[in-house]
């Protein structure tokens, strides 16, 4: 389900980032910059899993998806819009019916996590046992289970 | 495109892959490793959205709920062994089960919204699954890994294609090699400890959609089997490479069905309105003791549906309409809630299915949706169990399952997690993250016990460089032989190699178009053809770093395919009907085959050795 870029909206993330965010984020190295046109494009549409990573991240909302020609009839739209803590999805059917769905996806701001905060496992003394870091706070039971007999 | 620069990275622990397992490994390794130790992660994409969970998830499928008294790790082992029709490493599965809640609770602490019941406990879908607002599960899992390691230790857009061995000891790891798809740089990582956390394999079999839809595989199209493609040619002992997972999913978009079955209580009925789980109940008797297990093992449910389809009783429809009407009971507000939940299931993790519904005018409360058996996938994290034969945990594993360090492969210093670990299925996202952590702690232990730097000669580096960059050379050398770059008698493109592989696998290795059926002679013919393919893949051509990455991806996938063919041939039974059938050995044979099939590739002799390893019922016994 290949992504496509609206050339009237894409600004190649000019001045905002080190490079276009779609090129940064695509998990399959598909989104690329056409340096002549200075626009993003999908360089290998049949390797696109329509994961929407680029669609969700594009600051201009310049990227959308046209369903795989193999089996998706034309005319539908599924477009996310970012909210403070998640996404609002606009879903338009081929026959014109439309729905909106809004879901949270984060309960705390990105960048606010302090790794190992409050962990008590001894980085030297506990290295030989079976406990993982944070077990004492986060496992949920007092003791790591072991099977009855070996 | 000469990759003039070689960047050498010296580190103490190298994590290959930044998916769920890799992020878990990074987080755990950094905690235990001393501040004088350098932990590095290499990833072919960007860890915020890389790996199979990058698109998001609507549920965590591996959670014990030990604090609620829901399940014990023993319960988990019993469930998994039955679902795998009797074959799983009980020590490894138990180990994931006892640790996984820690990871789930941490993910929630890091910002993952988990659905709650009125009593404050997590909501449940089935016995092991909890629903989440999981569109961002991957960036949430990646953040502490990136912070803990430090951005300077995360090498993104670096595709690792080969492992390095110690010059003085071929059974010891020494690092890995690859290249940047962005910076025109060749990379050598010299490390005495390596943790492989890369993915299983999609697109080894010809998928049901072969044009643009080639990308809409059920499992990520960028999961290229590199966990196996790195390890097999390095001589690592592998296990259960004959196993595959054939997902029953919504047709074409491959939307998940678990929520529909277990949360909405929908049924799949054939065109005559029959429920195959009822009409074909007696079929389960052929596969005892697993046939009477509760729940019915996944392959057997596939098998029942398969019989309906093969007899021409399809299409099979998920009766979303009936389920949603029953749940809402005519209450419009309740229907709004159910509709909201139904769409979130897809929008969180398989957006193409939502688009397919919209484009086909399918409102699930009105119109049922087709489900199908998809093409096979070879993996170790989900319902598949292919992967490396690894040491188990010291306090659980039997002596023959333990060689010093948990999750260490048969190469010293080389650890695996996630899809890379065989016979340890049903980890899913949380369990893979957890297994990365388990492997990383053991890896630190190994590092402490085995000081010293790896020996990587200039000769090994030069040879690796030549090998890895050869598709670029091949193209330049032969481009003048044709007026059309894509048609050249001297080389294949990566895509051409991929299509050949998929055709062989589909037709000889029990793919979808062969009704998942094969036999000994068919497999032997398939092996002849894939041996020629392996030779031809020495002549791949690439015009860019992007194509060079594709070349090595298909090389990795071809290793998976060949291992799969050879393992299928070795196991003379049909253990997983609904996943594949050996027509010459149509029955389950617990007496002779309740054991693991293992293999090793010997590069010097260019030959494979297949063996079996005994089953140890450490928990179920």
Interval B12-41: pLDDT, tens:
999 999 999 999 999 999 999 999 999 999
Task: Place A150 in a pLDDT band, splitting at 50, 70 and 90.
Answer: very low
Give the pLDDT score at B49.
98
If one counts every other C-beta atom within 10 angstroms of the C-beta of residue B370, the result is 15
Closest to B196 measured CA to CA, from B86, B80, B328, B42: B42
Please state the rounded mean pLDDT for residues B563-588: 98
Task: Place A149 in a pLDDT band, splitting at 50, 70 and 90.
Answer: very low
Q: Shortest Cα distance from A8 to chain B (angstroms)? A: 24
Give the pLDDT score at A19.
84
Nearest CA in chain B to A31: B546
Instruction: Find the helix or strand (DSSP H, E) in which B610 lies.
Output: strand B607-614
User: Are B54 and A53 a contacting pair at CB < 8 A?
Assistant: yes
Please state the rounded mean pLDDT for residues B501-506: 98
Count residue pairs from A and B with Cβ separation < 8 A.
262
DSSP B236-300: --EE-TT--B--EEETTT----HHHHHTS---EE-TTS--HHHHTGGGGGGGTTGGG-SSPPHHH
Q: Are B579 and B376 in contact (CB under 8 A)?
A: yes
For the question of an ipTM over 0.95, the answer is yes
Residues 113-142 of A with CB under 8 A from B: 113-116, 119, 121, 123, 127-128, 130, 132-135, 138-141
User: Are A44 and B546 a contacting pair at CB < 8 A?
Assistant: yes
Closest to B426 measured CA to CA, from B383, B378, B388, B392: B383
Q: Are A53 and A26 in contact (CB under 8 A)?
A: yes
Identify the bridge partners of residue B610 per DSSP, sorted by sequence position.
B599
User: Are B209 and A70 a contacting pair at CB < 8 A?
Assistant: yes
Reported pTM: 0.98
Q: How far is C-alpha B494 from the chain's CA centre?
A: 21
Q: Are B577 and B299 in contact (CB under 8 A)?
A: yes
User: Are B101 and A104 a contacting pair at CB < 8 A?
Assistant: no
Residue A8 near chain B (CB below 8 Å): no
Closest to A97 measured CA to CA, from B327, B338, B364, B349: B364
Residues 178-207 of B with CB under 8 A from A: 181
User: Are B113 and A28 a contacting pair at CB < 8 A?
Assistant: no
Identify the bridge partners of residue A65 per DSSP, sorted by sequence position.
A3
Could you tell me the two tokens for B62? 């591996």
Give the pLDDT score at A1.
52
**Counting beta carbons within 10 angstroms of the beta carbon of residue A28, is it exposed (0 to 12), middle (13 to 18) or buried (19 or more)?**
buried
Residues 97-116 of A with CB under 8 A from B: 97, 99, 101, 103-116
Spatial distance between the Cα atoms of B456 and B166, rounded to a whole number of angstroms = 6
Q: Are B57 and B349 in contact (CB under 8 A)?
A: yes
Q: Which residues of B touch A80 (CB under 8 A)?
A: 347
Comparing CB atoms, the residue among B31, B221, B354 nearest residue A28 is B221
The three-point CA angle B296-B297-B301 to 5° equals 75
Residues 390-449 of B with CB under 8 A from A: 393-396, 398, 434, 437-438, 441, 444-445, 448
- Best B351, B363, B374, B494 residue to mutate vs chain A (most A CBs within 10 Å): B351
pLDDT tens-digit map of B124-135: 999 999 999 999
Q: Shortest Cα distance from A33 to chain B (angstroms)? A: 12
Q: Which residues of B touch A72 (CB under 8 A)?
A: 252, 352, 355-356, 359-360
Residue B167 neighbours by CB under 8 Å, 6+ apart: B174, B455, B456, B457, B460
- Best B110, B355, B362 residue to mutate vs chain A (most A CBs within 10 Å): B355
pLDDT tens-digit map of B511-524: 999 999 999 999 99
Please state the rounded mean pLDDT for residues A82-97: 97
pLDDT tens-digit map of B196-249: 999 999 999 999 999 999 999 999 999 999 999 999 999 999 999 999 999 999
User: Are A68 and B216 a contacting pair at CB < 8 A?
Assistant: yes
Q: Shortest Cα distance from B505 to chain A (angstroms)? A: 19
Residue B254 near chain A (CB below 8 Å): no
pLDDT tens-digit map of B327-366: 999 999 999 999 999 999 999 999 999 999 999 999 999 9
Residues 13-32 of A with CB under 8 A from B: 24-29, 32
User: Are B358 and A77 a contacting pair at CB < 8 A?
Assistant: yes
pLDDT tens-digit map of B460-469: 999 999 999 9
| Gyration radius from chain B CA atoms | 23
Residue B315 near chain A (CB below 8 Å): no
Residue with tokens 């009593």: B119
Give the pLDDT score at A15.
67
pLDDT tens-digit map of B248-305: 999 999 999 999 999 999 999 999 999 999 999 999 999 999 999 999 999 999 999 9
Closest to B527 measured CA to CA, from B563, B576, B498: B563
Give the pLDDT score at B590.
97
Nearest CA in chain B to A115: B144
Residue A76 near chain B (CB below 8 Å): yes
Q: Shortest Cα distance from B361 to chain A (angstroms)? A: 6
């Amino acid at each position: 389900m290949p992504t496509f870029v609206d050339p009237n909206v894409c600004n190649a993330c000019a001045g905002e980032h080190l490079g276009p965010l779609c090129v940064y984020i695509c998990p399959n190295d598909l989104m690329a910059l056409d340096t002549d046109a200075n626009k993003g494009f999908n360089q290998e549409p049949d390797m696109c899993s329509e994961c929407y990573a680029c669609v969700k991240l594009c600051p201009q909302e310049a990227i959308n998806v046209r369903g795989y020609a193999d089996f998706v009839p034309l005319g539908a739209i599924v477009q996310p819009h970012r909210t403070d803590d998640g996404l609002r999805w606009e879903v338009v059917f081929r026959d014109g019916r439309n729905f909106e769905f809004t879901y949270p996806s984060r309960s705390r701001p990105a960048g606010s996590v302090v790794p190992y905060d409050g962990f008590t496992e001894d980085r030297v003394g506990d290295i030989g046992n079976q406990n993982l870091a944070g077990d004492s706070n986060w496992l949920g039971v007092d003791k790591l289970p072991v099977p009855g007999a070996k | 495109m000469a990759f003039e620069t070689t960047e050498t990275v010296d580190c103490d622990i190298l994590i290959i892959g930044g998916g769920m397992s890799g992020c878990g490994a990074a987080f755990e390794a950094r905690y235990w490793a001393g501040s004088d130790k350098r932990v590095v992660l290499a990833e072919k994409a960007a860890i915020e959205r890389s790996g199979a969970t990058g698109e998001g998830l609507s549920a965590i499928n591996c959670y014990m709920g030990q604090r609620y008294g829901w399940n014990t790790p023993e319960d988990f082992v019993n469930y998994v062994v039955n679902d795998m029709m009797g074959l799983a490493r009980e020590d490894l599965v138990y180990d994931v089960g006892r640790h996984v809640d820690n990871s789930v609770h941490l993910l929630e602490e890091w910002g993952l919204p988990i659905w709650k019941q009125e009593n404050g406990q997590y909501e449940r879908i089935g016995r092991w699954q909890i629903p989440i607002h999981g569109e961002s599960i991957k960036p949430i899992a990646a953040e502490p890994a990136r912070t803990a390691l430090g951005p300077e230790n995360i090498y993104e857009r670096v595709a690792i294609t080969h492992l390095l061995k110690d010059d003085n000891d071929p059974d010891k790891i020494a690092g890995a090699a690859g290249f940047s798809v962005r910076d025109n740089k060749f990379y050598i990582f010299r490390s005495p400890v390596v943790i492989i956390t890369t993915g299983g394999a999609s697109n080894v079999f010809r998928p049901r959609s072969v044009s643009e839809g080639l990308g809409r595989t059920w499992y990520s199209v960028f999961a290229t089997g590199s966990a196996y493609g790195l390890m097999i040619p390095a001589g690592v002992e592998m296990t259960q490479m004959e196993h595959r997972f054939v997902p029953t999913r919504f047709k074409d978009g491959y939307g998940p069905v678990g929520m529909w079955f277990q949360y909405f209580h929908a049924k799949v009925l054939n065109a005559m309105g029959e429920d195959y789980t009822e009409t074909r109940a007696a079929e389960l008797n052929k596969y005892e003791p697993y046939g009477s297990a509760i729940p019915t093992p996944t392959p057997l449910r596939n098998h029942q549906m398969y019989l309906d389809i093969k007899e021409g009783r399809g299409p099979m429809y998920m009766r979303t309409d009936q389920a949603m009407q029953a749940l809402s009971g005519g209450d419009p507000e309740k229907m709004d809630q159910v509709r909201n939940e139904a769409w979130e299931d897809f929008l969180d993790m398989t957006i193409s299915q939502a688009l397919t519904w919209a484009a086909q005018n399918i409102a699930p409360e009105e119109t049922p949706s087709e489900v199908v058996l998809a093409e096979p996938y070879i993996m170790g994290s989900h319902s598949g169990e292919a992967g490396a034969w690894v040491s188990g945990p010291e306090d659980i594993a039997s002596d023959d399952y333990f060689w010093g360090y948990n999750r260490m492969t048969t190469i010293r210093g080389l650890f695996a997690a996630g899809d890379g670990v065989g016979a340890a299925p049903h980890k899913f996202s949380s369990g893979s993250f957890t297994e990365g952590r388990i492997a990383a702690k053991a890896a630190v232990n190994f590092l402490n016990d085995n000081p010293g730097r790896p020996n990587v000669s200039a000769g090994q580096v030069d040879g690796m460089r030549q090998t890895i960059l050869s598709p670029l050379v091949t193209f330049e050398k032969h481009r003048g032989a044709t007026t059309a770059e894509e048609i050249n008698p001297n080389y294949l493109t990566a895509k051409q190699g991929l299509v050949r592989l998929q055709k062989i696998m589909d037709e000889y290795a029990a793919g979808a178009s062969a009704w998942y059926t094969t036999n000994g002679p068919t497999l032997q013919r398939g092996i002849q053809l894939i041996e020629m393919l392996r030779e031809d893949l020495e002549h791949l051509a690439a015009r860019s770093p992007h194509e060079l990455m594709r070349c090595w991806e298909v090389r990795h996938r071809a290793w998976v395919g060949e291992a799969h063919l050879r393992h299928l041939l070795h196991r003379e039974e049909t253990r997983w009907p609904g996943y594949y059938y050996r027509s010459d050995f149509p029955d389950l044979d617990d007496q002779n085959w309740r054991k693991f099939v293992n293999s090793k590739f010997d590069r010097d002799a260019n030959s494979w050795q297949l063996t079996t390893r005994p089953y140890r019922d450490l928990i179920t016994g």
